[in-house]
Structure formats: structure tokens, C-alpha cells
Amino acid sequence: MKIIPAIDIIEGKCVRLTQGDYSQKKIYHQNPVEVAKMFEGYGLKHLHLVDLDGAKANQVVNYKVLEEICTQTTLQVEFSGGIKSYQDLKKVLESGASQVSIGSVAVKHPELFLEWLSMFGNEKIILSADVKNGYVAIQGWQEQSQVSIFDFLAYYQEKGVKYVICTDISKDGMLQGASIGLYQSLMEQFSQLNFIASGGISSEKDLETLRQIGCTGAIIGKALYEGKINLKILQSYA
């Protein structure tokens, strides 16, 4: 199972939100590049980089941070936030991202998402499935769609999607444990998809359980910044 630390960016700073609420913002570091270097120093190989400014602005904002992390570290960066056009997607990949995760476009413009999937392949394009009360949330979690998570995944599994980042928004930033039951039910139903768990992961026990049930990866955010999970422990997963 891949261990994927998260860096969320607002105004060039490393922050965490609680349940996606921009008003519940906590700044952890002024320089995301230094944080990325720290993760690399602990032997981690992957990074989940979220452009929260971009998610709100409907266009990618923090290209520069992405480019700096990709040129100054060897981390494989998965980028999300604000990718709404081919130009944005191309720019993100040219800036060094190994993968991009896309949610809003997959809900609102499925034909465009499928065009990108065909163009760049299912190793590059990850489906972002952020869940709130059983439905997919979009626009940086500011809007809840009428699309059921099960219908959403069934459609895209048929279309050849390989990787899914699934976040239970109710758990995100709460440090109360991951949605193990949700992931188990999704993996039982969608056996062709590789699930990357996100939201609520707060202990080594969470990580072990996610690994045991078969998650491909686990994204860890606030638990790292609050010292709930020791970075040294993560070296055994790297």
C-alpha cells in the first residue's frame, strides 16, 4: 500500500481544512516545498498536492509550487484542484505531476473527462470521488451533486478508470478514523478499481486496517501535521 502524505495549498502556504470548510483553515507551514523535502527525507516516494485556491477559482492557481516540488524533490506528485480545461491539465503535467485527480469535470462534463482519459491514459488520470451522505461532492467540496457514489463508480469502472481517490468528507480533518466500512463495500462492488483512501486516517492502526482490506494507497494529512502518526513509522511502508 502506498503511503501518500498530503499538502494542501492556500495562498502559497501549507494548510489543512476541517471537512473541506475554508473557514476552518489552519496554517502549518509557510513553505510547502520545505514540507515536501521533509517527506522525501523520511523515505516517502509519493505526494498528494491539492490546489485549494484552484478548486475555488475553477482554474489551477499554484503551478509554481508544483513545479518547485517536482524539480527540487524526487517525489511522484499527484495533483488536484481546479483542473477544468485541457490547458490546465497540460500545464499541470508539464509542471511535473506524475498523475492528476479529477472530480468536478467527471461529474459535470463526463465526455470531457473520458476524452482526457483516452488521451493521457488511466495511469495518469485518477478519478476523484469525494463522498458526502452517499453523493459525490464537487467544486472543492463546496457543492453536492445529485450523483450517487455507486452510480458514479459503476459508470467509470466500465469506461476504463483504474485508480480512484475516495474521500469521506465527514471524516476529513476530524482525526476520528477512516471510513473502513465504506471502502470495504466499494471494493466488494468495484473489484476492477484500485482505491486510495483519504479522510480521517489518524493512527497506524487505520493504516494497517486499510492495507488488510486491500486499499492501493492511503492519503494522510492532518494526522502527520498534528503528530498523531510518526513519520518514522511510515518508512516501513515506503
Question: H-type helices in 32-168, by residue range?
Answer: 32-41, 52-57, 63-72, 86-94, 104-108, 110-120, 149-158
Exposed, middle or buried, 141 (CB in 10 Å: 0-12/13-18/19+)?
buried
Mean pLDDT computed over 151-178: 88
Of 53, 70, 65, 71, give the one whose Cα is nearest residue 11. Answer: 53
- Which residues are known to be catalytic? 8, 130
User: CA–CA distance from 221 to each of 84, 90, 138 (Å)?
Assistant: 24, 27, 20
Percent of the chain residues topping a pLDDT of 70 = 95
131 forms beta bridges with: 136, 168
pLDDT confidence of residue 143: 63
Residue 238 has pLDDT above 70, yes or no: no
pLDDT tens digits along 191-218 = 999 999 998 899 999 999 999 999 999 9
Between 40-54, 69-83, 84-98, 169-183, the lowest mean confidence (pLDDT) is in 169-183
Please provide the CATH number assigned to the domain covering 2-234: 3.20.20.70
pTM over the 0.85 mark:
yes
Q: Are 62 and 12 in contact (CB under 8 A)?
A: yes
Query: In the block, which residue shows the cell 523515505?
Result: 43
Residue 176 has pLDDT above 80, yes or no: no
